[in-house]
Amino acid sequence: MNNNRLPMLLGLGVLAWVGIVILLAFSGRLIIHRFGPMPEQPVQFNHSLHVNKLNLECLYCHQYAEQSIHATLPPTQVCRDCHEGADIQRPEAQKLAELLETVDEIPWQRVYKVKDHVYFTHRVHTTVAKLRCQECHGPIEDMTVAIRSAGGSSDRSFLEMGWCITCHKRRDGPRECINCHK
């Protein structure tokens, strides 16, 4: 073996090694990114039970979805209206009862997020475009705790612009920058 080539080979080996490590690290990151866990909720709220079994409308809890930019989470009074006094043995219902006694507001974690520079309003999507909630939020009536099932997947925390645009194209929604970028 030519001694002159040894350092070069060694160098190449190191480079290849570094490359492999970087590749592995990135693919791992992508995997975590794509399938990463949803935020931990204080109570594992069962959407399916409330919607399918108890026949509650979405607007019963998310009452401002047709009036505001936010759909809004229900104030604790909405939970209290049914849960107070009711003796429900389910563990999550017990947890809720405990929470209702100790806190003013339940610290629900946001599942669907848009970036700071994005303007999104529920009001127009529900009233003018007349979208059903499921078109963006997926089959939420069949879920227990809400998980994000739409909105693009390259970034686990925020909804993707491409996903928005696909729908805006399909339905001929406004597609100018200023409509959504604030």
Residues contributing to the site for other proteins (CB under 8 A): 64, 67-70, 72, 75-77, 104-105, 115-117, 119, 121, 123-124, 127-128, 176-179, 181-182
Q: What is the dihedral of CA 105, 106, 112, 118, to 10 degrees?
A: 20
Concatenate the DSSP letters of all residues of 84-141 into one string: TT-----HHHHHHHHHHHH-SS--PPP-S---TTB---HHHHHHTS---THHHH-SGG
What's the closest the beta carbon of residue 100 comes to other proteins, in angstroms?
13
Amino acid at 111: V
What's the closest the beta carbon of residue 96 comes to other proteins, in angstroms?
16
What's the closest the beta carbon of residue 34 comes to other proteins, in angstroms?
22
Nearer to other proteins, 95 or 181 (CB): 181
Nearer to other proteins, 90 or 115 (CB): 115
Nearer to other proteins, 149 or 179 (CB): 179
Phi/psi region, residue 65 (left: phi>0; alpha: psi -120 to 50; beta: rest), is alpha
What's the closest the beta carbon of residue 122 comes to other proteins, in angstroms?
9
Q: Answer yes or no: are the C-beta atoms of 155 and 33 closer than 8 Å.
A: yes
Say how far apart CA 171 and CA 138 lie, in whole Å. Answer: 18
- What Rg, from alpha-carbon coordinates, does the chain have? 24
Say how far apart CA 91 and CA 96 lie, in whole Å. Answer: 9
What's the closest the beta carbon of residue 66 comes to other proteins, in angstroms?
9
What's the closest the beta carbon of residue 21 comes to other proteins, in angstroms?
30
Nearer to other proteins, 138 or 173 (CB): 173
Amino acid at 182: K
